[in-house]
Structure 1
C-alpha cells in the first residue's frame, strides 16, 4: 500500500490526481494538498479581466470533484516540504507523510523584483491568478469610463509571454467594441529580443505574424526592455540593443497597465538543497523525478527548465498546457512502475501547442519539440482559433468536474487542428537508416 501526495491543485495538480488514481492499485491512497478550495482555469483569466467571463464560470470546487474519484483533499497551505523525512508540514503545524510526492504547486509570482509591480501595493494589474483578474476587471471598469494610455507586457525574467500578447489583443478588441479604441494609445513592453520570440526562440514565422497583428491594431512595442520601476501612472523602461547595452530610457505614461512578473519557486520548497535550483524551481530528470530525493516528482510551471537561448534581457522558457499534460502522464506511469518494483521508463514529450486568443480572432503555435531544433514548427491564424479556445475551455472544465483521467491535448487539439498529421509527416520525412 502506497500513499501518493500531490502538492497543488492547478492545471498540473488536478489532472495529476485523476491520472494517478486511475493507475494506482486498489489499496493505494491519493491525496491532494491545496491552499485553495477551488480549481480555476488559468487560460481564461484574460477574459475575466475584461468581464467576458465571471470568476464562477472558470472555477470548480476541488474537494467534491476529487471525492467522486475517491481522492482525498486537504484544503490548507503547505508550509514546508521535508523530503528527507518524506513529510509535508502544513500551515497549522501538522504533518502529512507520503511514499511518493508530486510537486505541482505552480510558481510564486515575483512582483517584489520590480519596484511598483503588481496589484498588491503596486501600480499594475496581473492575470496570473483569477483573483488578480477580478481586480483587473474592477480597474478596467473604471478605465473605460475615463480612457487613456495602456502599457501591457512582461518584465525581465518572465517566461509565459502568450497571455501578455493575448491580453493586449483582447483589450484592443474590447475597446473597439466600445468604440473608444481611438482614445487609447497602447504600448507593448517585453524583455523578448523581438516580437513573437515567446521565450521559445520563435515558432515558425511568429515574429512576422505577431508584428503584423500588432501593427494592424496600432500597438507600439519596445523589445529588449528592462522595467526598472513603476510609479502611479508612469513606467520606467530601459531599452537595450542586441549586445545587452542600454540604448534608450523610456518614461511611459499609463492609465491602465498589466505586466506579467517573473516566476520563482514557492516558499514551501524554495532553498531546499538537492530539490530546487537557485530560483526555487524543482530539478527533475527525464522521468520527472528529482535526482536527490527519488520518490519526489514534479510537473508543471514549478519545474526547472533552462532558457531556450541566451537573450540580451533574461527570458524564461514557458511550460504550456500540452507539455504539462505530458509530464503528468509520464509521472503517473513512472510512479506505478516504481510501485511494481520496476524502473521508470516514461518521458514527457515536451511539445508545445498554444492557442492564443486575440478577442475576435487568434493564433495557433505548434513546436514539436518545444526546444529547437524541431521536427515541426508551425503556426496559423484566424477566427477558428478563438472558437477553438472557447471549446477547449468548456472541455477542460468538464474534465475537471467529472474527474476524467483522459489526456486531452492529443485527443482534442492535436486532432482538431491536424497536428497529428503534421507529426506523422515529420516522422515520414526523416531519412531512412
Structure 2
C-alpha cells in the first residue's frame, strides 16, 4: 500500500485529494497536510472588502469531508520538504513519510520585496481570505472619509485578474453608494499594456479592459515598478519599452490594494537540495507534472515553475488559472495511478486558461487554449452575464467541494459558456 501525500489544501490541493482517492480507492492511502483547517474559495476574495461576502461564506471545514472520503487530514504547518528521505517535516517536530508527494501549496506572498507593501505595511491584499477580512476593515474606514484609490499589481506579479476585479468591484460599490465622484482611481501594473494579464493578451482583452477603464474614468500606469509605499503615498517608476526610467510618480491614496510577486513557500524554497525548485522556489515539473530529479514528487497549481511567455520591460509572471490547475490535477492523479501499476506516466496537462473577471455589475471572460501562445483557440467576451456566471460558479464549486465530489469544475463552466452543456443544480 502506497502513501500518497498532498501538501496544501487549496483550489489545487483539495480537488487533487478527491480525485487521487477516487482514482486509487482503498488500495492506497491519501494524506493531506495543511496549515489551515478550512478550504477557502480564493476567486471570491475581492467581494469581501465591500461586504458582498463574509470570510465565513468562502470557507469549508475540511476534516469532516476528508474523513467521509477516506482521506487522512493532518492540520499542521509543514516546516520542510525532505525529498532525499521521502518525508515532510512538520513544525511540531514530527514527520510524514511518503511514497509519492504532490506539492500543491500555492505561493508565498512576497510582500517583503517592496518596502511598505502588504497588510503589515500600508496596502491591502485579497490574496488570502484573512487578508481580505482586514481589507474590509480598512474599506469601512475609507468609506467614512473617501479619497484617492490605487489598485494594481507590482513587478514580478503573476496574477492580474484579481487586481482588475477588485478595482472594478470597488468602482461599482462607490457608484452604488453615490460617492464615486469623490474618489479618483488609478490602476498601477507591471504589465506592458492593459489587458496583457501575463499572457500576452487573450483575444481583445487589451481593447476590452482599456475601454472599461476609460468608461469608468480610471487612470492607469503600465510598465510600472513600485519602489516603496508609505502611509498614504505610493512611489512608482514608469519605464519605457527598453526598461529605462521614464517617469517618477507619487500617488496619494486613502485605500490601496496591490498584488505582490509570488515565491515558493518556505517549506519548499528552503529545501536545500538541487533539482527540485527554481531560484524563486517554484517546483520544477515536466509535461507530466513530475519533477525530473525526484521522480516521486509531483506538483500542481501556482507553486509550479512556468517561465514568462515573453520578455517585458518590467518582470511579468505567468498566471496559473483554475482551469489550468484542474488539468494538472487530473494528469497527476492518472500518472501516479499508472506508476502504481508499474507503468510510466503518459498523461499530459492541457494548460488552458479560462477566466471570469467580475466587474461588479458586468465583467470580461476569456479563454486561451493553450494558455501559452501560439494558441488553437482564443476567445473573449464581456457583459453582465459574466458577473452572474461567476456568482453561479462560486456556488457550484463550493457545493462540490463541500460534498467531496471530484469532477472537472472548470471544464463544465467552459462548456456552458460556449453553450454546450448546462450545469445541474443551478
TM-score (norm 2): 0.97
2:186, 2:218 within 8 Å by CA — same for their partners in 1?
yes
- Give 1:42-191 correspondences, 5 Å limit: 42-120=42-120, 122-191=121-190
Residues of 1 paired with 2:38 and 2:128: CA distance?
A: 12
Residues of 2 paired with 1:276 and 1:287: CA distance?
A: 16
- Give 1:358-373 correspondences, 5 Å limit: 358-373=359-374
The C-alpha deviation readout for 1:232-287, integer Å capped at 9, x for no partner, is 00000000111111110000000000000000000101043211000000000000
1:425 aligned partner: none
| Structure 2 residue 193 is the aligned partner of structure 1 residue 194 | yes
1:267 aligned partner: 266
- Give 1:25-36 correspondences, 5 Å limit: 25-36=25-36
* Structure 1 unmatched runs, 5+: 422-433
The C-alpha deviation readout for 1:209-243, integer Å capped at 9, x for no partner, is 10000011111000000000000000000001111
1:236 aligned partner: 235
Residues of 1 paired with 2:254 and 2:55: CA distance?
A: 24
Cα RMSD (Å) of the superposition?
Answer: 0.9
1:428 aligned partner: none
2:331, 2:349 within 8 Å by CA — same for their partners in 1?
yes
Tell me the SS of whatever aligns to 2:144. Answer: coil
Tell me the SS of whatever aligns to 2:268. Answer: coil
1:312 aligned partner: 313
2:349 aligned partner: 348
Tell me the SS of whatever aligns to 1:24. Answer: helix
1:284, 1:291 within 8 Å by CA — same for their partners in 2?
yes
Residues of 2 paired with 1:327 and 1:220: CA distance?
A: 37
Residues of 2 paired with 1:253 and 1:37: CA distance?
A: 38
TM-superposed deviation, 1:68: 1.1
TM-superposed deviation, 1:27: 2.2
Tell me the SS of whatever aligns to 1:126. Answer: coil
TM-superposed deviation, 1:399: 0.9
Residues of 1 paired with 2:231 and 2:103: CA distance?
A: 37
Tell me the SS of whatever aligns to 1:227. Answer: strand
Tell me the SS of whatever aligns to 1:268. Answer: helix
Residues of 1 paired with 2:33 and 2:218: CA distance?
A: 42
- Consecutive aligned runs of 4 or more in structure 1 exceeding 3 Å deviation: none
Residues of 2 paired with 1:14 and 1:419: CA distance?
A: 28
Higher mean C-alpha deviation, range 162-171 or range 267-276: 267-276
Residues of 2 paired with 1:20 and 1:310: CA distance?
A: 37
Residues of 2 paired with 1:327 and 1:209: CA distance?
A: 29
The C-alpha deviation readout for 1:310-360, integer Å capped at 9, x for no partner, is 100000000000000000000000000000000111111100000000000
1:195, 1:211 within 8 Å by CA — same for their partners in 2?
yes
The C-alpha deviation readout for 1:189-215, integer Å capped at 9, x for no partner, is 000000000000000111111000001
1:375 aligned partner: 376
Instruction: Assess, with a 3 A threshold, how the Cα gap between structure 1 residues 94 and 52 changes in structure 2: closer, same or farther.
Output: same
2:153, 2:259 within 8 Å by CA — same for their partners in 1?
yes
Tell me the SS of whatever aligns to 1:63. Answer: helix
1:395 aligned partner: 396
2:424 aligned partner: none
1:158, 1:262 within 8 Å by CA — same for their partners in 2?
yes
2:80, 2:270 within 8 Å by CA — same for their partners in 1?
no
Residues of 2 paired with 1:408 and 1:320: CA distance?
A: 12
TM-score (norm 1): 0.96
1:271, 1:278 within 8 Å by CA — same for their partners in 2?
no
TM-superposed deviation, 1:420: 6.4
TM-superposed deviation, 1:112: 0.4
Residues of 2 paired with 1:42 and 1:410: CA distance?
A: 18
Tell me the SS of whatever aligns to 1:201. Answer: coil
The C-alpha deviation readout for 1:39-97, integer Å capped at 9, x for no partner, is 10000000012110011111000111111101010000000010111101001000100
Tell me the SS of whatever aligns to 1:328. Answer: helix
The C-alpha deviation readout for 1:168-198, integer Å capped at 9, x for no partner, is 0000000000000000000000000000000
* Structure 2 unmatched runs, 5+: 422-426
